[in-house]
Structure 1
Amino acid sequence: MSSRTKNGTRPAPEPTNNVLTLDGATQRARIDPTLTVEDVVKQLCSNLKIPDSPSNYALRDHTGELVTNENLRRKIQHKVDLKLVHAPAREARDIAAELQHKDDRDLRLMVFSLQKYMKEEQFVSEFLNHNGLSELINVIDTASGNTLAYALTSLQNLMELDYGWSTLDDKFILRVVKILSSPQQPINVCRPATAILKKLVEADPASTPGVVAGSSRQQNPLPGSVFIYGFGVVFEQMRKEKSFLETVVNRLGSAETAMAQHSMMLINSLLAHASDERWDEFIGELERYNVRRAVVRLMSLHELEDLTSCILDFQANIVRVTHRKKTTPVDPEMDPSHEKSLQVIWSASKLRPEIDENNQMLKWRKLGFETEDIPYEFRDVGVLGLECLRRFIESDPDFSMLIIEQLSRPVEKRWQIARASNEVVELLSEHWAIFAPGYSTSTTFQPFFLDFQRVHSQATRFFLRMWAESGAATEDFTRVAALVRSQVKVALRSENVRQWHEVEADFNCEYQKVRDRQMEELELEDDLLSKVPVRNLRAKLYKESYEFVRQQRIQCLIQGAWFVNAIPSSTPRELIRRPARPWRFMRLDNGLKYLHYVDSAVKFPVRSGLEDLPDRIDVSMISEVATGTCCAPPGVVRDTDVLSTSQPSPLSFSLLSAHEGSMADQIAPDQSRWADWTDGLNMLRRDGGHVASKETAGFVHALTEIGLKIKLLDLSGEMVEIPNSLPAGPPPPSTDYYFSDI
C-alpha cells in the first residue's frame, strides 16, 4: 500500500499498522495517510482477495471506534491496530432485520452493540431507512433491566443528532416518564431515560439551529424537524404520572452521586424551558416537593465536584424564577391564587374593614399599606412580595395581637408592616442581584438565597424591631430601610460557609450596635446610591454589562488558545504517563456549534480558520463544565508553576457529557484564560449555564459600577437631589399638540 514519488525515489516510510481481517488473521500493512478510508478498504479487499464489494466493509480500531477520513491520519501515526469489519450501513440493515424477528436470548447482546453504532451517522441513516427506530421503541416498551438500559442508551445516542427522531410520540414520552417515576429503577436505566427527557424538553421550535426568535419558522418547524417537542409536550405527559416530579426530586437525596446529578440536570432543563402556559403550575408543584431544601442539603452533603456545576445552574434558574415572580403583577380580580393569598393575610389579622373620616374604605391601610389599591401597593415586588408577606404572617402566631397593639398607637408611630415587608423584598433582591432573567454571576453556593422567604421573615422582623427601638415615625421609613440594608449585607455575608444560626444572631443585634456600624459605613458611601431610581439604573446597567462580558468571553473562544492535556485526578498514580501530545489548541467555530482542536507534541503557530484543527467536540453535548478536576501530566514544559501531578490544578476544567463522561480534560496557562473558557463555555450551553470564576463576576460588577458612576457624574457633581419617585403631571387638555425635536 506504499507508493513512489514522481521522480522515482521512495518517500519516508509510513508507520506500519496491524490489520485484523474478518477471518481472524492479522496482516501488517503500510497505509498511505493521504488516501481516503474508502481507498484504503479497496486496497485491503484487493490484497486479501475478498470477492464481496468493498463498500460492504469498513475499518475500526481496537476500541471499536470507526475509522473516518478525519481520524485516519492520527491512527496511522499512532500505529493503532485496525480491524476490517462490516460497514456501518451493512450492520444497520442486519440489526434492523434482527430486531423485527428478535430472539430474546440475543436481544440483550444486540442492543448492547447498538449503543456504540448509534453514534455513527453512516449507521444511523441506514438504520432509520429500515424501520429500525420503530423496532427500538418496541424494545423500550417491553424490556426491563439491562436490556432496557441498553435500548434507552441507544436512543439517547441517536438523539445527539439533529434528525431522525421526530416520530417519537406522546405514548413513548409517557413510557419514559413512567420509567423515571418508579423509585426502584437502577441508575443505568434512569441515566439514559433522564437524558432522553432532557433532550425532548430542549427540542422546542425556538431551539432550531439558525432560527431567529419571533420568526415564522419558530412556530412552524420544517417537516421532519426534531425541534417539535419542548417543555409543553413533555409536561403534558408528566401530569399524567402524578408521582413523577416527586420521585425526581427525591432522587436528589440519593446516595448515588450520578443519580442525583442526572436528576438535577433534568430539573434545571425543565426550569430553563418552562413555558408561560404551564409555568405557574410547574413551579408550584416543584416548590411543594421542597426542591430548594433538597438542593441546600446537597450543598452540604456532596463530596464530589460533579454536582457543583449542577447546583450553580439551579441557583441561576431560581434567580429567573424569583425575577419572574417579582415582575408578575398582583391582580386578585384575574388570578384566584392572588385573591386566596390576600384572604389568608386578612383572616390572620382578625380585623374588620371600617369607614374612615373621608367616607372611604379602611382595610388594607390597617396592615401598613399606604393605599387600598392592592395592585398598586405590590407594583414593585409583584407576586414575590405577596408570597413573602403571606409567609411572614403565617410564621407569626401572634400576628393579630401585634396588629391590634399597633392600631392603638398614633398613626405616625404605627409599624407599616406591609410596606416594610415589600421594602425588605427590594433589599434582598438588590443584595442577590435579582435584576433580570438569565443574568446570574454568583460563583459560590447561596443556601440562604434558596430560602428567600425565611430570610425575608427574619429581615422584616428586624425592620420592625429597629423601628420600635429607634422610636421612628412615618417620615423615618427611609432611614430605617437604610439601616436594614446595612444589616442585610452583614447577616448574609459569605453565605456559602456560614450557618443559619449565625444569620439569626446578626438579625437579633441591638439597635445601637447596628447604628454605630452603619455610621462608619456611611462615611465611605454615598447615600445617593440607595435611591430607588439609582437602584433601577444599576439593574439596567448590570444586564448590559453581563451581556458585554458574555460576548467578550465567546470571542475569546473563537480566537482560540493552547492548553495542557490533563490527567483526571481519579487516575491511579501507577497509570499516569506523559502523553505523546501534551498540548492542545482549541477554537470555537463562528457558528458556535463545535470546538475544533488539534493535539501536538509542541506548540506551533495556528493559522486562522479551522484548517489546522482536524478534530472537534459538539458544544451541544457539553452538559457540564467541571472545574478543578484534573492534574498536569509529568514532564510537560509548562507556562506556569501552578501545575502539579500530585493534586488537581485550580486552572483545570473538564467538558462533561451527560452519558459519555469527560470529552476533554484541560489545564489553562493562566487564571485569565481559565475564566475566559470556563465561563464562555457555560454561557453557550443550551440548558442555561452559570458563571464559574470570580474574574467574570468581578468584571460584570466593575462595569456596572463604572457605568453607574459615569451616568451620575452630572448629577452628583452638582449635588442635585434625586427624588425616590416622580409624580405624574396632569394629562394634556386636548390632543392638539406635538413633540418638539429639541
Structure 2
Amino acid sequence: MSTTALSSSSKGQIGSGAIPNGAPKASPLVPTNHVTTLEGVTVRARIDPTLTVDDVIKQLCGSLKKEPASQFALRDESDELVTNDNLRKKIRGRVGLRLVKSPSREARDTAEKLRTKDGDVRWTLFSLQKFIREEQFAQEFLKQGGLKDLVENAHTATGNTLAYALTSMQHLMDHDYGWGSLDEEFIFRVVQILSSSQSPINVCRPATAILKKFVEADPLSAPGVLASTSKGLPVAPPGSVYRYGFQIVFDQMKKERGMLETVVNRLGSGDTAMAQYSMMLINSLLSHASDARWEEFITELERLNVRRAVIRSMSLHTIEDLTSCILDFQANMVRVTYRKKTTLVDPENEPAHHEALAYIWESSKLEVDEDETGSIVQWRKLGFESEDIVQEFSEVGVLGLDCLRKFVDHDPDFSKLVLEQLSRLGERRCPLGKASNEVVELLSVHWSIFAPGYSTSTTFQPFFLDFYRVHFLATRFFLRMWSESGAATGDFQRVVDLVRTQVKVALRSESVRPWHEVEHEFNESEYRAVRDRQMKELELEDDLLNKVPVRNLRAKLYKESYEFVRQQRIQCLLQGAWFVIALPQNAPREAIRRPSRPWRFMRLDSGLKYLHYVDSAVKFPVRNGLEDLPDRIDVSMINEIGTGTCAPPPNVLRDQNDLPPTGALAASPLSFSLLSAHEGSLADLIAPDQSRWADWTDGLNMLRRDGGHAHSTETAGFVLALTEIGLKIKLLDLSGEMVEIPTNLTSGPPPSDTSFFFSESLQ
C-alpha cells in the first residue's frame, strides 16, 4: 500500500509495525491514524493525504483481506463520513477512523430492517436520523423504498421512536429530492402532532421543521427554470419536491382546531430550540402566504396576538438565541403592514371592511343627518372631510381602518369624545378621522413602511410590533395638542408637525426603553415644551421632503439602495476573507489554548451554495477559485448567524495576553457563529475589523432563504445614506429653483407629426 504502514491486534491494541509486501516505507512526516474495523480490530496506518478516500479504502481492504472494497467506507469516531473534502483534515488531526459499511450498504440494511421490522425499530430509527443526511445513503435508502416505511412509522410510532422517525424525515427533507411523493395525509399527521399540547418537545421540534419545509416547497421557490401552466403560473417540474407550499399546508392546519394557537403559545416555551422552531415556522408562513388566504391567515395571527408573544420572547431569551428569528419576524410584519396600507378599503365587496366601518359608526352612538343641501351627513361627523369613506382611507388603506377600529376598542369613552368635538364650533372641531389617518402616515414614515420586502432594522422594535397601541397614544396626543393650542381648521398641519416631533422623541431608543416611558411622553408632555422643540426642528426641516411624490420617490430609491448593498455584501463573500477561528464562550478550561491552525480563509462559491475554506497556521496568498480551499460548509445548513457568541484564542490577536484567561471567556464584538438547527455551530469565527464583520454577517443573512434583515448598523446606515443621497440628487434642480412639486402630473397631447426637435437649452 503506497506510503501506508499497517499493524493490527485483535484486542484493539497497537502491535509492532508491519508494512505490507511491496509497499514502500512511509515518510516519518506522514501522520499516523488508528483505523478500527467492524470486528474490533485496530490497525495503525500512515495515510498519504494526496490519496482519494476510495484508494485508501481499497488498500486497507486489500491489507485486511476484506472484499469488495465498494462495500466499505471510513468514518471518524463521531460517525462523520470521511470524504475527499475532509480526509486531509482528519489525517492531519490524527483522528481515529473506523472501517465500516458503505453508506449504500448501510442504507440497504436499514431499509430492510424497517420493512421486516427485524430487530429494535427504535434503534434502527435512531441510527437512521444520523445517516440519512448523507447523500449516498439517502439516495440508496429511497431507491430501496425506505420512505414508505419511514412514513408508516411516523403514523404509528409514539414517544422517542416517533421523535427519531420525524427527525429522520426532517433530515431527509434537507435534500431537495426524493420526498415529492409525500401526500396531504402525512402533512395532516404532522399537523395533528403539533396541535396536541401533550406532544413532547423532542417530537414537536422535528414536526415543526417538517411543516416549515413543506411551506417553503412551493413552485415559486424551486431552483432553475420552471414550467408554466396555460395561465402563466409557475408549476413544479416533474418529480420535483416543490409542489406543496402555503396553500396546501394551511388547508391541513385549518382542519385541526387550535393548531396555530398552539404554535404561537410555544413561542414562550422554556426550551429555546422549540421557541426558535416555532418562530421559524411562523416566519415561513408569513413569507409564503398566498394571496387567496393571506387576509384569513393574518387575521387569525392577529387574533392570537402573535405580536405580543414575540415581544415577550425579546426578554425571555438571550440575544444569540432568537435575535435572527425576531428580526425576520419584524421584517415580515413590515411587509404585512405595508400590504395593509396599500390595500384599499372596499366595504361593498369585503365583509370585514363593512363590519369594521359599521362597528366604528355604532360605537359613536350618532345618528345620520342631512345638511342644508339635503346631502347625507355621517362620516363628516367623525372628522372626515367627505362622505366618500373609500376615498378618505385611500392613502392609509386597510391599515388606517384597522387603526381606527382599534382606537375605538381601546377608548371606552369614544362616543363621549365624538360628542365633545361636535359640541364645538365647526372650525374648532378636531377632525378625528382625518387625525387618525394622519397619525398612521406619521408612524409609517417613522418605521420606514414604504417599501415591501425590505427592512433595515438591526435591533428589536417592540413599539413597532405594538403599532395599534402607539397609534392610540399618538392620536390621543393629537387631540390634546389640538385643544391645548386652541387650533382651528386651518391649523391642522401645524398640529401634525407637533405630533411628528413627539413621535420621534417618544419612540427613540426603541430596543431599550420601557413602555411606560412612551406612555409618559404622549400623555404628560406639555404643549409649550413640545411647541418649542418643534419650532427648533422646523428651522432645519424642508417641507418638500414630506410631499407624497417625494415619499414615493424615496421608497423607490430605498429598494434600489437595499438591493445594491445586498449585491455588494455577497460580492465580499465571493472574494473571500481571513478570520480567526474562535473558541465558544462555554469552552472548558483545558481547551483554552492557541490552536495549531488559528486562521481560516473562507470564500463563497459562484453557485452561492457552499462556503469553501482552509485552516492554516499562518495567512498566505489564496489563489482565485477553490483549489486552495479543500473543506466546505453547505449554506443551506445555516439557520442563523449568531453574533457576539465566541472569544479569541490566546496568543493570536495582538490585544490578547500570552497566558490563557483564568475566568470565563469574553466574547469578541467582531465574532459570529454559523448556527445549524441540527448540528449546533458549524463555525465560530472572528472578523479582522468591523467592516469585514458587517460584510459577512449581513451577506450570509441575505443568502438565507428566510432571511431579509441586516445585523449591522453599518449596512442599515449604508442603505439609508444611499437613499438620502439619491433623493437629494434627484431633487437638486427642483429644490434649487424652489419649483413646486405637484401631487399629480398630467401629460399633454402627443405631437401631431414628427416635425419637432428637442431644444438644447432652456430659453
C-alpha spacing 1:741/1:386, structure 2 compared with 1 (3 Å): farther
Q: Which moved more, 1:180-189 or 1:399-408?
A: 399-408
**Residues 1:238 and 2:241 are matched in the alignment:** no
SS of match in other structure, 1:344: helix
Shift in Å at residue 443 of structure 1?
1.1
SS of match in other structure, 2:681: strand
Residues 620 and 685, structure 1, Cα contact 8 Å, conserved in 2 = yes
SS of match in other structure, 2:255: coil
Shift in Å at residue 540 of structure 1?
2.0
Distance in 2 between the 1:34 and 1:221 partners? Answer: 42
Structure 1 counterpart of 2:163, which letter? A
Shift in Å at residue 280 of structure 1?
0.8
Residue in 2 that maps onto 1:143 = 157
Residues 614 and 631, structure 2, Cα contact 8 Å, conserved in 1 = yes
Residue in 2 that maps onto 1:703 = 722
Distance in 2 between the 1:740 and 1:665 partners? Answer: 67
**Residues 1:258 and 2:284 are matched in the alignment:** no
TM-score scaled by length of structure 2: 0.92
**Residues 1:112 and 2:126 are matched in the alignment:** yes
Structure 2 counterpart of 1:585, which letter? F
Shift in Å at residue 566 of structure 1?
0.9
Residues 454 and 708, structure 2, Cα contact 8 Å, conserved in 1 = no
Residues 194 and 266, structure 1, Cα contact 8 Å, conserved in 2 = yes
**Residues 1:389 and 2:408 are matched in the alignment:** no
C-alpha spacing 1:703/1:348, structure 2 compared with 1 (3 Å): same
**CA deviations over 1:549-578 (Å, ceiling 9, x no partner):** 111111111111111111111222333232
Residue in 2 that maps onto 1:571 = 587
TM-score scaled by length of structure 1: 0.94
Aligned pairs for 1:264-279 within 5 A: 264-279=279-294
C-alpha spacing 1:737/1:240, structure 2 compared with 1 (3 Å): farther
Q: Which moved more, 1:516-525 or 1:377-386?
A: 516-525
Structure 2 counterpart of 1:14, which letter? V
Aligned to 1:158, which of 147, 166, 172? 172
**Residues 1:100 and 2:115 are matched in the alignment:** yes
Shift in Å at residue 234 of structure 1?
1.0
Aligned pairs for 1:160-559 within 5 A: 160-211=174-225, 219-303=234-318, 305-508=320-523, 509-559=525-575
**CA deviations over 1:168-198 (Å, ceiling 9, x no partner):** 1111111111111111222221111111111
SS of match in other structure, 2:499: helix
Shift in Å at residue 599 of structure 1?
1.3
Q: Structure 2 stretches of 5 or more lacking a match?
A: 5-23, 759-763
Distance in 2 between the 1:628 and 1:663 partners? Answer: 15
Distance in 2 between the 1:209 and 1:639 partners? Answer: 46
Distance in 2 between the 1:671 and 1:356 partners? Answer: 66
Shift in Å at residue 490 of structure 1?
0.4
C-alpha spacing 1:292/1:214, structure 2 compared with 1 (3 Å): farther
C-alpha spacing 1:380/1:214, structure 2 compared with 1 (3 Å): farther
SS of match in other structure, 1:58: strand
Residues 639 and 669, structure 1, Cα contact 8 Å, conserved in 2 = no
Distance in 2 between the 1:175 and 1:245 partners? Answer: 15
Structure 1 counterpart of 2:729, which letter? I
Aligned to 2:682, which of 663, 670, 680? 663
Shift in Å at residue 34 of structure 1?
2.3
**CA deviations over 1:656-692 (Å, ceiling 9, x no partner):** 1122211111111101111111111111111133111
Residue in 1 that maps onto 2:634 = 618
**Residues 1:607 and 2:626 are matched in the alignment:** no
Aligned to 1:40, which of 56, 60, 76? 56
**CA deviations over 1:590-629 (Å, ceiling 9, x no partner):** 2222211111111111111111112222222211111111
Matched length: 733
**CA deviations over 1:691-733 (Å, ceiling 9, x no partner):** 111111111111111112112211221223445x34869x98x
Structure 1 counterpart of 2:494, which letter? R
Distance in 2 between the 1:532 and 1:475 partners? Answer: 20
Distance in 1 between the 2:581 and 2:403 partners? Answer: 49
C-alpha spacing 1:397/1:9, structure 2 compared with 1 (3 Å): closer
C-alpha spacing 1:329/1:687, structure 2 compared with 1 (3 Å): same
SS of match in other structure, 1:321: helix
SS of match in other structure, 1:79: coil
Residues 595 and 618, structure 1, Cα contact 8 Å, conserved in 2 = yes
Residues 455 and 708, structure 2, Cα contact 8 Å, conserved in 1 = no
Distance in 2 between the 1:672 and 1:522 partners? Answer: 35
SS of match in other structure, 1:239: helix
CA RMSD of aligned residues (A): 2.4
Distance in 1 between the 2:475 and 2:123 partners? Answer: 63
**Residues 1:21 and 2:37 are matched in the alignment:** yes
**CA deviations over 1:70-111 (Å, ceiling 9, x no partner):** 2222222222221111111111111111101115x6111111
**CA deviations over 1:124-170 (Å, ceiling 9, x no partner):** 11111111011011111111111111111111111111111111111
Shift in Å at residue 536 of structure 1?
2.4
SS of match in other structure, 2:668: coil
Larger RCO (CA within 8 A; separation ≥ 6):
1
C-alpha spacing 1:741/1:155, structure 2 compared with 1 (3 Å): farther
Distance in 2 between the 1:505 and 1:18 partners? Answer: 70
C-alpha spacing 1:636/1:447, structure 2 compared with 1 (3 Å): same
Percentage identity across paired residues of the two chains? 70
Distance in 2 between the 1:330 and 1:739 partners? Answer: 47
Shift in Å at residue 368 of structure 1?
1.3
SS of match in other structure, 1:523: helix
Shift in Å at residue 214 of structure 1?
8.3
**Residues 1:71 and 2:90 are matched in the alignment:** no
SS of match in other structure, 1:647: coil
Shift in Å at residue 415 of structure 1?
1.2
Shift in Å at residue 638 of structure 1?
5.2
Shift in Å at residue 338 of structure 1?
0.4
Structure 2 counterpart of 1:687, which letter? D
SS of match in other structure, 1:337: helix
Distance in 2 between the 1:628 and 1:502 partners? Answer: 29
SS of match in other structure, 1:24: coil
C-alpha spacing 1:542/1:416, structure 2 compared with 1 (3 Å): same
Residues 227 and 236, structure 2, Cα contact 8 Å, conserved in 1 = no
Residue in 1 that maps onto 2:600 = 584
